[in-house]
Structure 1
Amino acid sequence: MILVLSGIIVILLGIIYIQYQSRTNRSKQLHSLRSEIERISLHATNEKLLLFTDDRELQALLIEINRLLESLHQTCSNYAKMEMSMRKMVSNISHDLKTPLTVVLGYIEILDLDPNMPADERQRILDKVLAKTKETLALIHDFFDLAKLESGDKDLPMTRIQMNERCSTTILEYYDLLTEQGFHVHIEIPEHPIYGFGNDEALHRVLNNLISNAIQYGGHGKTLGLTLREDESSVYVDVWDRGKGIDALHIDHVFERMYTLEDSRNKSYQGSGLGLTITKRLVESMGGSIHLRSKPYELTVFTVQLKKVQY
């Protein structure tokens, strides 16, 4: 009997010792994890936690912590990029507002200093003041439109759009300008009706931006095209030209805010860099996407993709 009791006591003591060792090991591992998290947090590194353990619960905890760390790293990276972009945008906006306002001020001073200026000269200067003022106002409108789009404050009611009519009407608005500048225009719009899901006013602005962009920066090729096409789930509008195009190194940047590289097309108002950014935000607000491919002096294509609606 004594032997049996002794054996039970030994077994119990062994279990207690094993449990104690397990708790001690887990405590050490948790302490190690905490120290690593503190170090990573303090130095803001992009590291992940490493811990060699057979404890499945600790392994699961480690996986979740690493997921949180990865999400935190991505958030910090996005914030840093956004802050840099905002600083650049504020700097460029300030420059782009200062330039025309300085010109306007100069013209006003000329008018003020010469009250006896001939009427025709005075009118010529006033016309320039008016043009510069409109340019500045348009830039301010673009700036606030982009701010509304990025904050989600701009309401875009979604409905079915007759894509054939929208594309035809928009390109016809440029008929006189294209004819005057000697462009060869290629329009491919199917005869059967195609419907997309979006906001008609927003799509009109998107197409206006892309066509104006092609005229301004694709003029070397004197060719402009608009193609409407579809597949089972989407509708596509291609606006293309054969101008100087965009180098492959810069394609990924043309939709960025304030991207003002000399050969970039993202310069709506003397380098404001808002035109294509607004275009992209409008398309995304309609649940669509916009893509660019370019081979300089051969073919540059902006493609807008929207959801298709069956008629």
Structure 2
Amino acid sequence: MSFHQKGEQFSQKVQTARQRAAALEQRIVDSPKQDPELLAVSLEELKTALEELHVAEEELRQQNESLLAARSALESERQRYQDLFDLAPDGYLVTDGAGMIREANQAAAQLLGVAHTYLVGKPLIIFVPEDTRRAFRSQLTHLPKLGLLQEWEVRLKSRQGNLFDAALTVASVRDKPGQGSSLRWMLRDITARKQAEEKIRCYHLQNLHLQEEVRLKSQFLALMSHELRTPMNAILGFSQLLMRQAQHQLGHNQLHMLERIFNSGKHLLKLIEDILDFSKLEAGRLELNLEEFNLVELVTQTVEELQSLAHQKQLEVHIHVCLDNPYVVNDSNRLRQVLVNLLSNAIKFTDSGSITVDACEPTPDQIAIAVKDTGIGIEQSEIKQIFQEFRQVSQSLTRTYGGTGLGLAITDRLVGMMHGKIQVESQPGEGSTFRLELPRKVTSSSNTSAIVSK
């Protein structure tokens, strides 16, 4: 029951009591004699009327208490919402339909750089730069029809003249009949976000430029490597033919120089082939030629091909094979390339001792090959970067041992194409162990580009 209805009931009870009192008074006046019985009845009615008044009075007191409690709760709720409005982290404004500010919280005053008392009663458009006021005013006229406009990005200017980017959310609210509409504004400073977006856009453009540069570099390397490999093959072929035909006709020094030409040519051709392979890997144009072959024969033949390099440095090369099933499905040429890279590095960086090649099968569906040397070893801080392209453990080693720094990068990507992984364990002065694990059967190379671009 509402307070209004309770008030009407109380008024009715008071009126009833008055009517009874008036009737009692009239009966006493009209009675010519003081009838004791009439007096008793009158007193009883008066008592009843007084009791009803006491009940009505109690009800009125309770109503007053309820009304005060409701008023207090309403005031607390109003204060709570006022505090939320004033202390909100975002700026809040209430304007009329023309943008005249009626209310503003502290955040809005801080954003616009003015005191709260100055802000109320001012048009919001004075905080818009002059060159954009026309567009702002045009949008302002459409706001009552839109009802709600979210994330309207505009440039605002504080009273001190500082420009900042703001995101406005505006809601049109219908006021009391005949009073039109008012606008509720939320202002948020998005200058930091806009600056971050601009940086991201610049980074994106830079990334596109870098990708284009990488594409052009890869295309250039592939083209130059191909063009250089053709004359290098001719140089190697003719120099090898000269060594065979003129072995007994040339002096020792001349034959030695011819051999140096041939060996240098082979070294240069190896560098060119590394660059060509790497450019193909980067472009995702290298695919596996899968076939079944005997892994033991491949390891043995590869070691025999490099025995001459090991003998030149008086190094021993050992092979340990423990395979129940030597047959695997893979690209034999690319696996041979991986083994050649690992063995060549082992020989290059080992001055004394031996090199060991182990092949085993940790599980029936997996094979593992380890190349262990007793060479110079690798610092722990350098291990993470040895598989990066154009990197060697130090510039001094590059000058001493030569190379492009692509061998291990190509090896790592080829192993990735084969759905395997390669790991290295090393200590300075104690040698290195490169261990690669591969599936016994590589089923597909369709995701080559995704793997090698890691």
Q: Per the shorter chain, which TM-score range?
A: 0.5 to 0.7
**Distance across 2 between alignment mates of 1:183 and 1:42:** 59
**Distance across 2 between alignment mates of 1:137 and 1:175:** 20
Q: Would the aligned equivalents of 1:254 and 1:264 in 2 still touch at CA under 8 Å? A: no
Cα 1:174/1:131, change in 2 over 3 Å: closer
**Aligned AA for 2:428?**
P
Q: Deviations over 1:218-252 (max 9, x none)?
A: 233x1211111223342110001121111111111
Residue ranges of structure 2 left out of the alignment (5+ in a row): 1-144, 153-166, 170-186, 236-249, 443-454
Q: Deviations over 1:103-149 (max 9, x none)?
A: x9xxxxxxxxxxxxxx6355554444444344333322221121112
| 1:253 aligned counterpart, secondary structure | coil
Counterpart check, 1:258 vs 2:390: yes
Counterpart check, 1:224 vs 2:380: no
Cα 1:280/1:175, change in 2 over 3 Å: same
Where in structure 2 are the equivalents of 1:207-246 lying within 5 Å?
Answer: 207-220=339-352, 222-232=353-363, 233-246=365-378
Q: TM-score, normalised by structure 2?
A: 0.43
From 418, 440, 446, the counterpart of 1:308: 440
**Aligned AA for 1:225?**
T
Instruction: Give the RMSD, CA atoms, in angstroms.
Output: 4.5
Cα 1:214/1:162, change in 2 over 3 Å: same
From 163, 168, 171, the counterpart of 2:303: 171
Q: Deviations over 1:264-293 (max 9, x none)?
A: 988997231122222222222222222212
Q: TM-score, normalised by structure 1?
A: 0.60
**Distance across 2 between alignment mates of 1:156 and 1:194:** 20
| 1:156 aligned counterpart, secondary structure | coil
| 2:341 aligned counterpart, secondary structure | helix
Larger radius of gyration: 2
Bigger share in strand? 2
Higher relative contact order (CA 8 A, sep 6+): 1
**Distance across 2 between alignment mates of 1:193 and 1:209:** 25
**Distance across 1 between alignment mates of 2:354 and 2:328:** 27
Q: Would the aligned equivalents of 2:374 and 2:430 in 1 still touch at CA under 8 Å? A: yes
Cα 1:126/1:141, change in 2 over 3 Å: same
Q: Give the drift of 1:306.
A: 0.9
Q: Would the aligned equivalents of 1:267 and 1:274 in 2 still touch at CA under 8 Å? A: no
**Aligned AA for 1:160?**
E
**Count of residue pairs the alignment pairs up:** 240
Q: Deviations over 1:65-102 (max 9, x none)?
A: xxxx9xx79x959x59x96xx79x98xx99xx9xxx9x
From 199, 202, 221, the counterpart of 2:334: 202
Cα 1:33/1:132, change in 2 over 3 Å: farther
Q: Give the drift of 1:300.
A: 1.0
Residue ranges of structure 1 left out of the alignment (5+ in a row): 1-19, 47-68, 105-118
Cα 1:195/1:127, change in 2 over 3 Å: closer
**Distance across 1 between alignment mates of 2:190 and 2:294:** 59
